[in-house]
Amino acid sequence: MGSLQSLLPLVLLILIMYFLLIRPQKKKEKAVNEMRSNIKAGDEIITIGGICGKVVKVKEETIVIQVGAEKLKFEMMKWSVSKVINSDESKTSSKKAKPVEETEEAPKKALPKRMKKASEENEAEPTIMEENTAQESSPVEEVEEK
């Protein structure tokens, strides 16, 4: 009975370590491995080294990415992918979400920037013209007084 009581704190410590450290780490590792295995052509990625690029070709253990303005292509291992920024699935889901938002914004009747500028200029022009006519009449009066 005494040896069982001395082992109880050790067993509790191991269980706590498992639930707080080991289990969450395994879940995270599993999610990262799944993300890396689901990479497909067209996805934008960031590597562990900080290189941002677009996936051009996917092989079994490697991927070919396209980087920079010169569209430089190079091959790298899948395990070097840190995260996927944009995937085709997220683009399609965001496109589906946007029309719903646009229908909600439709009652506002917001004008495009060009239309806003034109309407502001039309509203501002009469006041400017009234000021110009007022300024033009005052110099004429001064000339007549001299």
Question: pLDDT for 94-134, tens place per residue?
Answer: 455 444 444 444 455 566 666 666 666 666 555 555 555 55
Q: Is 46 exposed, middle or buried (0-12, 13-18, 19+ CB in 10 A)?
A: middle
Residue 11 has which token pair?
């067993």
| pTM for this prediction | 0.52
Would you say 96 and 83 are in contact if contact means Cβ atoms under 8 Å apart? no
Residue 20: pLDDT band with limits 50, 70, 90: very high
**What is the 3-state secondary structure of 48-60?**
CCCCEEEEEEECC
